[in-house]
Chains A and B, each alone.
Chain A
Amino acid sequence: MAVTVKTFASAGEAAGALSSDRSARYLGGGTLVMRALNEGDVSISTVVRASDRALTRIDPSGPRITLGAGVTFARVLAERDLAFLHAPARSIGGPAVRNMGTVGGNLFAPNPYGDFTVALLALDATVAVQGSFGARDIPIEEFLQSRERRAGTLVLSVSCTRPASNEAFRYRKIARIKPKGGSVITIAAHLPISGGRIAGARIALGSMAPTQIRARAAERALEGRSLDAATISAAASAAAEGTSPSDNALGSAWYRREIVGVHLRRLLSGQE
């Protein structure tokens, strides 16, 4: 079935078109929406695009960084100031997917995808969205919890605070195919240290629930402690608590629960 493609000069107009038509989807890099069209998804009858430059802007310097929703992973990788986001960006797709896939689209990518969003969740990112109600900022966790209802919302950008050091932010994607493959599980950890103790630990998991989630029990085990062997063990044993992984071709739910603690332990211990 042919679809109607509407291209707008401003993100605001695109957001209006998106919110007024339930069968409209926003086309970013194409890796989700074109795939759905190729598979014959008849629920999409209108494709909305915006050529607004604001959507592809990167503000990489300073303590708080902002990425336009239309920024591709290849562009993230080309920014030296965004080195802390290179591991998650590199873990996505092959080069062609990284040239196409966008930061904003990744927020909507279902399992076993959405790895960049795992990193953003650990970094407590803010998602700027434009809906029929106007523009507003939403904490990423709240955004993800209501993701299914957000098809009519246009994401403008994401922003997060730069981690204090390389050690403070860690990322690991477990895939069966290297260097490219869907996620068995994905883990990101933000561990700010204050006076030798962890203050404000955030552990985010991918493929451990219908959306990316925080491992709150593991965070509690880390909070206020130094990152020693006993603390790491406690966090690792709590890693699967509160998760609800599914079976898919890459791994079973049982397997995911078994390995999440193992890989969290390795990530926190700085093992390869």
Chain B
Amino acid sequence: MSKIPLQFRHNGRDVAIFVDGGTNLLVALRELIGDMTPKFGCGQGGCGTCSVLIDGELHLSCLTLAETVAGRSIETLDGMKQGPNLHPLQRAFADNFAAQCGYCTPGMLMAAKALLDRNPSPSREEVVEAISGNICRCTGYEPIVNAILAAAGGRASA
């Protein structure tokens, strides 16, 4: 079966790849572009660790048909840090012990970024809601919620 040409923006850079029909965006990002930051968790939309932003909106890359993102802008954790510096959310995750095994962290950070891009000073309840599609089996969520609130607070006072 012939491959399908696909072009989109990946963390601000134009990329062009060939995908097989039915390939999901997660596979395209990891195996064809080499961006290993979105993780494969469940493949069912239940865990959130493959979360990416498509045109600024939080989506699950494992449930996104790759060819539907033609011409669109994809942001992953790989594009989050600003030059040599960690993004304030990454810094807050480190400072608040929000990552243990780290497998959920890419998805958590993208879900948190989707929230703060839209709502720079969320309530605790809004943070819990924003990461409700992301499963963490280590932290019990509290350090993650605290980290996101700390990042929002830091941004507000900066």
| Interface pair A99/B58, CB less than 8 Å apart | yes
Given contacts A5-B4, A100-B60, contact A95 B21 (CB under 8 A): no
Contact code string A252-263 (vs B, CB < 8 Å = 1, else 0): 000000000000
Given contacts A31-B63, A179-B132, contact A93 B4 (CB under 8 A): no
Given contacts A31-B45, A179-B132, contact A95 B111 (CB under 8 A): yes
Any chain A CB within 8 A of the CB of B158? no
| Interface pair A38/B24, CB less than 8 Å apart | yes
Any chain A CB within 8 A of the CB of B94? no
Q: How many residues of B contact A (CB 8 A)?
A: 32
| Interface pair B133/A39, CB less than 8 Å apart | no
Contact of A47 among B43, B65, B111, B115 (CB under 8 A): B65
| Interface pair B114/A27, CB less than 8 Å apart | no
Any chain B CB within 8 A of the CB of A248? no
Closest to B134 in A: A94
Closest to B110 in A: A96
Q: How many A-B residue pairs have CB under 8 A?
A: 89
Which B residues are CB-close (under 8 A) to A2? 1, 20-23
Which among B21, B67, B111 has the highest number of chain A CB atoms within 10 Å? B21
For the complex, give the distance between the alpha carbons of A27 and B132 in Å: 25
Closest to B64 in A: A30
Any chain B CB within 8 A of the CB of A265? no
Any chain B CB within 8 A of the CB of A35? yes
- Seen from chain B, the residues whose Cβ lies within 8 Å of a Cβ on chain A are 1, 4, 20-24, 43-45, 48, 51, 57-60, 62-65, 67-68, 111, 114-115, 128-134
- Seen from chain A, the residues whose Cβ lies within 8 Å of a Cβ on chain B are 1-5, 27, 29-31, 34-35, 37-39, 47, 49, 74, 93-97, 99-100, 179-180
